[in-house]
Structure 1
């Protein structure tokens, strides 16, 4: 019996030895734990990771020491991973380099990161990490490079950075003040821009920095004078901009390059005073805090800022001179030609050919909105169009607002942005009425297309809905065309103050959850109305969605591409549907739509790789309502998840079931999870709706009426 026990023990020992020698190493087990936490792996990078290997050294993104099975380098950057950050990942004590940048990893950095004594470089940028900055990073003496930019870290910056050389904490929610005991004796680069740091710059902080170090403190709430430390005197002025209360040498430049003065100043012009404060990601915020929220990762280069400011000032001056000149010429012409004016309901403002070529204006031709050119007038069109082209014609189409030339001449005009030859102006009248006026420039429209242009404009003008941008009128000249819209004050969804990053694979919104759902409902209402009226937008994207004072969305860009190309309408079988977005623009263009407080309706410059374009749109020039449904689905998913969803993720998300409620909560933007906690059923319905709308198969997409019914079936949060 005793011999049997010894034999059994021997075989058990051998079995344990064999299993232990053939199993995955401890570092491999840690990485497999990370794999299990990843909810979305669109590039399938982690498929090669499995338990059948002895070590993870052959796995993609993993590098080991040549003489051991220990992981030294882990690079999983730019893979669009979505999931929480596992604590166990920081138990690899021999890790020297960790790069998880360019994903959508959420959660907090655990305190166990302080145990990575071999860590030299840490890059967690461009994720959705939150919580306090890990204070024990300063205890890692081998750590020389840290990048935590573009996350949601909050709290104060810890002091004691003795050995770090590169530290990037920009584009977060860091508050408090700069620590006097910051350290930084080895510092070469420090970037804390686009945060909410307040207070004065401690003189001690610059005394420890090397003279040749780069220090970027821009776009915070710093006050007081800039210390006269050599390191600060060597910085560029734009490294201090965006701090209204900061003064000293170098002198900070303006933090709002597209505006003339502070929006809250009592001496501000009506154009500037109409601009609301930045919307915070918190639904209830202090007014002072609202003004501190700025868009990260959207700073312009000094050359671009200077060019924009000079262009604005020059444009305002030129417009004022031109308006005065035209007004005097018009008055003189009216006095000399009163006996030649036509007796009709349409009042026309006329210009000479020379004036037309030099003149960019908007004025008033009051015309009955129900009065449109009839077929009986075709015979006299050739003669009429020659006179019209030589004189220039300005028409209002809404029948409600009447604009007098004298009133418009006194309006303040500001350049909001440009795209190609198209320039958008903001015109503010003395009574506070604001218009957005787009100058189309050389559009390629022939002189024979005035009636097509007018017909299209009037068709758009008849579309009146709270969730559509209202079109008020247009100007037709030989060399240029103007389109007049209602001004929408809060910009578009691509406005930098609502996004952490302009475009790219990760672009979370600085908006509370209820506001995002309100925007989604409004877009759905607007599109459902368009489709009910037999119209199609055809090119829906975030820049087409403008936000009003109450953050109610208004869809813009209606028919503008078609006005630019001058193409005739497409008709669907069984109906006379007018198609607005008749063709995708594939030409490159310079887009300044995010400049200034209010990007406004603009023609599309989206290329064929735009994630908002339905796959079938690149095989056909005939738009369909299904195109709009696809674009709406992509925008809805982006509002919920805080990122641009890839085609692979759409394919995975279509299979969501009722049992996936908890999984759905982990997929949404980390900044709104608390608001949605306990509402998993509603969230799951919204996610399923977004994925179904973004289906690559048009026949499987719901209608906008059905989509709206889903969103309105639940009460607001």
Structure 2
């Protein structure tokens, strides 16, 4: 549905349920909606509604469920919210709401309240402690300040509480220890201080404790073992000290442990390293010493381990090969010695390996060339030497590129056949296996020929035996492949996505839609894959944008599920997916998006491609839409990591839609960041703090958006060809703000008031300040852009009115003295004014 909600809806006084969610409705919520006295269910989420929440809504005393999330609503929450005495569920997340949370909220009888992803400020009202029925409370990603009220501890039914991403200060109340039903606790990314109350460790039902990015001190008590259900523990970026309790080895359900960037000392307890269910372990940037403990058994759940930035010494344990599913291994900036273990050859799923700035020595092992998923290799500052054999570079161009970054001495020969290789050796794109088999075949032939005729019987027997062995190997491979095909599809995947309207298509349907990946259908190519245009073979009308993945992702199912439930007017919508092909040689993972007809923002701001430049109002509208899309993602803790004009698509009515967000990975249970991973993004847009720490947060997206604003304003790229720091577009903006001149900050063909241009530039600079905690949220950015947009629109209307007056006066002057035209001039004036 499109258009606005009609005022006439107020006449439906007998209506008990109204659901207009997930449409394209615009305009304000009619004040007359307060007349629907029989209404018990009201859902308007997932539209583009603007204006404020009408005060009349508080007269709906029979209303039990109120959902306004995912819109562009501004203003404050009605002060008389507490009048809605029947309200059980209240969801206002991902809007532009500002001001304080009304104290009257304590008069409600809700079990669920979600006000996250707005720009609410002021303190958390202590009256929330009066809602005895409250089970879930989400206030994250706002600008709330002050202490956490001790009255919150009265909420005995509370199971989930999230205050992360605010400006809360003071200590964590000890009264939280009374919330015996608490399962999820997140106070991440605030300014909390003091120690973690020991009473929290008595909450036996807790599965998630997220307290990272604060100023918490003290130690971790042994009583943490009283949390048998604990799955996620994130204490990173605090001031915690002391040793890591060895008793934590009893936390057998722990899946994610992040204690990085603290002041822990002592050795790493062997029991923690060997926790069987632990998927993520990050102890980086502490003061830990001693040896890395031996791994005693197979740890198939472990996907990444970060121990970098400590004082660890001794060799890397060969037993680390037990972590066969490891994707990220960071051991850099320690005092480790010895070679890279030969047993690491089993870590074939590694995507990121960092061992730089250690005392490791020996030769960089050849097996690294077989790591087909490796995209980051860091051995800088070690005594490791490069191998002489070019075949160790790896069979693919991407592997050779990664390998050659560390071993530039043979980049020229990397992947090329050696001079001694036989004529049957493969070219630079061939695999190491092909080279080796060809060479072996040649050597076997030569040996047979030189042995003379007396050895012919032995040769024949050898050939027969070899043929049988090869046949058996082929048969076993076919059986394994068939078995793998049966196992590789996640059970119930389509069913789990059905509620999100994400459809599973067959690979045959995709091939038909794209004309078998025809070049004529190709729209473009990016880091994650090629994009093709297609038409759904099921209805013959729906136009698709089909993304064909370049690299196979083992978390494909998780990423699809993550994208499928993200529905916002300013996000490109995922329609479906497809999985197929030969899962060993050329597996296919395909994402099917809605087709956005007007290309990307890069095309619209490139002066060489657009003869008629966008007006300032159009540019602001696009930026506002993109800001709302990002704000919505951030409310779920999703960090984009590659904000740039090419990832902002332009839909109908020049509506901005953020693309490629689903290919980014949020932290498990986190509302703030994605934790340690490889640096991603486009040069010029990447947050320097992300480059330094390899941690992407919502603040990283804000930085990139700040650069984007300047690029959209000027039409210039973020970096000049010289790629010098001083040539960054931020330097240009800073100079213009210092001088108070806007001329260099806008497209010369674009008419725009200088003060508005400078306000946008000032906002952009605030997004890129070095201290991430000082950067605004995307909700704040969207609000500021909207205010600038309204100011520009007002000036344009005034300018148009002035032009009309001038034109009328000129016409009057031209016909001065001709009274018969006075009436006609009056008509002309009326026509202009309307």
Normalising by structure 1, what TM-score? Answer: 0.40
Give the alignment's TM-score, normalised by structure 2.
0.35
